[in-house]
Structure 1
């Protein structure tokens, strides 16, 4: 079900406020900030998974449960390696706050105020 024009405008406004109030959160959650798996990780993961499959099949042929379980674990490790994200997370915005509690942003305060108004029956 598509959003109405009013709902699209509200979402755009919320997104704009979020960008202004907490850009670090936006970059960490945005699709541009998500780093995909690197080609190296994918190839290495596939190779490990294939080796695990071969070990698993060898366990079936030799009727060895231990070898079959080992092959399955190696295959799982290969899939894990293939899905690892590449690169290190950015350290932008590190200001050395040292774990001090962060005050609520104006964006969140505005949302809380609207929520309270809706729950009390008032219009925003």
Structure 2
């Protein structure tokens, strides 16, 4: 349901007064601080991944144990980056995909087909 013009102006005035009175609270309620933190973490994870590649390649020249450390740095950075990037995407307020009813035929989506096969296999229907 769309807001009327008067309601929209009143809402903007309330937001402006909240920002003026308590900017920390307004920033926390809007979620922009969390998005910035997760974006920064994702960027640092990307940098850590590049550092891991450099350490891995340097370890090939020097000692194999250094290559293992480089790989672990890459793995940790990748996991941190994926986790942070997913949280940035979650804060984007995109609507979630509705769950499909159990008795619907499989759709063209690959994962839906796999889930339907799994359900049939668990029920004993092959």
Which TM class, normalised by the smaller chain length?
A: 0.3 to 0.5
The higher-RCO structure (CA 8 Å, 6+ apart) is 1
Q: TM-score normalised to the size of structure 2?
A: 0.37
TM-score (ref. length: structure 1) = 0.37
- The answer to which structure has the higher helix fraction is 2
